[in-house]
Amino acid sequence: MAYKRITIMDVSEIIRRRRDGQKTSHIASVLGYDRKTVRKYIAKVENHCVDRKEHSGRVPPEILPELPGRPAKKQELLKPYIDEIKKLITNTSNPLKPKTAFEVICARHDLSGKVSYSSFKRFVRTNRITIFPDTSTCRIEVEPASQVQVDYGKTGLLLDPLTGKRRTVHAFIGTLSFSRHKYVEFVFRQNQQSFVNSHVKMFHTFGGVPKTISVDNLKSGVITPDLYDPRLNRAYREMAEHYNCFIDPCRVASPKDKGKVERDVQTIREQFRKLVAINPHITLDEANAAIKKWIITEYGTRKHGTTNQKPYPLFTETEQPLLIPLPIEPYEAALWKEATVHPDHYIQVNKKAYSIPHPYVGKKVWVKVTHNLVQVYYDDQLIKQHPVALGFRQTDFNDFPDNVRYALDTGMPAYLCDKAARIGINFEKLVRSILTPHAFLNLRRAQGIISLANNYPTEIIEQAAETALANFRSITPKIFKALVENLYQRHIENNSQLSLSDETCSFVRDMEYFLHNQ
C-alpha cells in the first residue's frame, strides 16, 4: 500500500473506531491504512492507559431449515425453449430485453395465458440467462440500525421565489439498508452546509442515528475521492463525531457499493415529476411535505420487492429502537474554508476580513464559521477567534507588530516604499504617508495606488501625488485615480496640436505641384 501522511485527526478516528469495537482489518479497509499501521497507533494509545471499550463478539447468523417446495409447473413449460430464449436475449448483434423476448416466445409457441411474465423472469434468473453473464450482483444485507446509504439526485426544475427564476432541484436521499425506510429532502443547493443540515434533519426524523453512513464521493462530503486516502470535509467529520457515527466513503465509480439508495434515485425522481404534473405551481416546501407523507403512507406500507416487508412498519418495530440515541443538543452546521493569511495580516471569508497574528503571514489556515463565531486553525490548533464581523473588517491590534518603524522598514511595506521611490519623490512621500499611521492596516490601499503607476506616465503620477499631498488629508485609490485621469486628460488636450518637424516639411508640396505633374 502506498505511503500516506497520518494526522492527529486520522489517529483520533482510528482510536474512536477501536473503542467502538471495530476490528483492525475493518478500520484499515475503511480508512485506507495498512493493518500494521493501525495496530501500531492502537498499541501506542493503549500503552498510555487509554481505556478500551469491551464488546461482545458478533452473533453468528441463524441457519434456517431448508423447506421443501412444490414443483414449478410453469418452469417445465419453458424448458423446451431455453436455447431459443438464450439466443433472443444474449444475441450480441440484436439482443432483446426479457420482456420483449417473453412476448416473442408466447407468440411463436402459443403460450399466451399459459405462462405469466413473473414465471418467465424466474425462469431467466434460475437459468442465468443474461447478456452479461459475468456481472451478477451479490446483494448484501446488514443488521438493523447498522447502515444508511446517502446520495444526491437531480429531479427537475422549480421556481425559486427568492430569485424569481426556475432552478434545478436536487433530492437528498438517505435509505436505511435494513428496512429500506428512507428520508428525502428536495433542495436547491448541494453545498457543504446544505449537505450537513440534511443529515441532521434525517437523524432527527428517524429519531436516532445509524452506526455508519455510506456516502458517495460528493464534494459536499468527500474532498478528495481517493481509494487510499479519502479526505472528508471537516464539517462532515465533526458532524459524525457529534452523533457518534462513522462515515464510509464508497469507491470511485462504484455505484453498487450503495446500490440500495442508487435505485431509490429513480423512484424519487419519478415521484417528483408526478407531483409537478399534478400541481405545476408546487413550491419546494410543498414538495417536501408531500414526499414525506408519501414515504410513510404509500411507499412505507407497500411490501418491498427485495425484502418482502413493509419498510415503515419494519423500521418502527425493529430498526428504530436500535438506533444510536440522539445527543441533547443538535449539531450546528459550520462552514469550513481554507484561507491564506495576506501580507496585511488579514484573511477573507464570506466577503469579510479578519486579522491574524503576525507569525502566520503567508500561511494557509482553516477557518470555521458559525452563525456568530469565526475560529481559525493552523495544523489543527486554534490560533485565533473573532465574532462574525458586522462591517467589512474585524481587527485585533494585538495581531500586528508593536514597532511601526519596524513594520515600515521590513517585508511588504518596505517593498512598496522602494517601488514608489523608483517612480518619484512625491509619489514615495504619498505612499509613506498612507503607510505611516499603520503599515498593515493600510497596506491594500497603498497597493491599489501603486498599481495605477503602471498605466500612466511618470510625470502624471508625480503631479497627481503632489496635488494629493497638498490638498487631501486622507487619500484612497478611488480619489487618486480620479486625480490621475483628470491630469492625463488635460495632458492629451494640450498636446493635440502637433508641430511638424523640418524633415516632415521637406516633403510638403504646394497644390500647383500636383496640377503641373498631371
Q: What is the pLDDT of residue 93?
A: 63
Domain extent, residue 381, equals: 335-399
- In terms of DSSP bridges, do strands 147-160 and 364-369 run parallel, antiparallel, or are they unpaired? unpaired
Let me know whether 395 and 454 are in one domain.
no
Residue 65 lies in a domain: no
Residue 140 lies in a domain: no
- In terms of DSSP bridges, do strands 373-378 and 231-232 run parallel, antiparallel, or are they unpaired? unpaired
Last residue within a domain, chosen from 322, 355, 384: 322
Q: Say which CATH number the domain at 179 has.
A: 3.30.420.10
Q: Which helix (H) or strand (E) holds 354?
A: strand 352-355
Grid coordinates belonging to 298: 404509500
Let me know whether 353 and 209 are in one domain.
no
Which residues have a Cβ under 8 Å from the Cβ of 215 and sit 6 or more positions away?
149, 150, 151, 221, 222, 247, 248, 249, 250, 258
Residue 232 lies in a domain: yes
Q: Is the dihedral of CA 23, 25, 31, 34 positive or negative?
A: positive
Let me know whether 290 and 345 are in one domain.
no
Q: What is the pLDDT of residue 206?
A: 94
Let me know whether 187 and 311 are in one domain.
yes
Query: What SS3 state is found at 209?
Result: strand
Let me know whether 411 and 395 are in one domain.
no
* Secondary structure (DSSP) of 300-345: GGSPPTTT-S-HHHHIIIIIGGGSBPPPSSPP-PPEEEEEE--TTS
Euclidean distance between CA atoms 236 and 368, whole angstroms: 12
Euclidean distance between CA atoms 234 and 219, whole angstroms: 12
Residue 415 lies in a domain: yes
Query: Cβ of 484: how many Cβ atoms within 10 Å?
Result: 23
Residue 433 lies in a domain: yes
Q: What is the pLDDT of residue 49?
A: 46
Euclidean distance between CA atoms 277 and 306, whole angstroms: 29
Residue 64 lies in a domain: no
Across the strands, what pairs with 176?
A: 148
Which residues have a Cβ under 8 Å from the Cβ of 206 and sit 6 or more positions away?
176, 181, 183, 320, 323
- How many separate domains does the chain show? 5
Let me know whether 215 and 304 are in one domain.
yes
Residue 77 to residues 80, 124, 125, 356, Cα–Cα distance (Å): 7, 13, 16, 80
Q: What is the pLDDT of residue 224?
A: 46
Let me know whether 169 and 313 are in one domain.
yes
Q: What is the pLDDT of residue 462?
A: 87
Which residues have a Cβ under 8 Å from the Cβ of 387 and sit 6 or more positions away?
372, 373, 374, 394
Residue 276 lies in a domain: yes
Let me know whether 156 and 122 are in one domain.
no
| Rounded average pLDDT per 10-residue block, the chain, 518 residues | 64 84 86 84 71 38 36 76 84 74 85 85 79 55 90 88 87 92 91 86 94 75 43 77 87 67 86 87 92 93 88 94 91 83 85 88 88 87 88 80 56 79 85 74 81 83 85 82 84 66 72 62
Which residues have a Cβ under 8 Å from the Cβ of 487 and sit 6 or more positions away?
460, 463, 464, 467
Let me know whether 301 and 345 are in one domain.
no
Q: What is the pLDDT of residue 498?
A: 55
Q: What is the pLDDT of residue 61?
A: 33
Let me know whether 214 and 313 are in one domain.
yes
Residue 403 to residues 128, 188, 412, 436, 437, Cα–Cα distance (Å): 82, 51, 15, 11, 11
Let me know whether 267 and 288 are in one domain.
yes
Q: What is the pLDDT of residue 388?
A: 87
Let me know whether 207 and 92 are in one domain.
no
Last residue within a domain, chosen from 301, 322, 343: 322
Burial (CB count within 10 angstroms: exposed 0-12, middle 13-18, buried 19+), residue 511: exposed
Last residue within a domain, chosen from 279, 299, 322: 322
Judge contact between 311 and 304, C-beta under 8 A: yes
Q: What is the pLDDT of residue 410?
A: 61
Residue 28 lies in a domain: yes
User: How many residues does the structure list for the chain?
Assistant: 518
Q: What is the pLDDT of residue 297?
A: 92
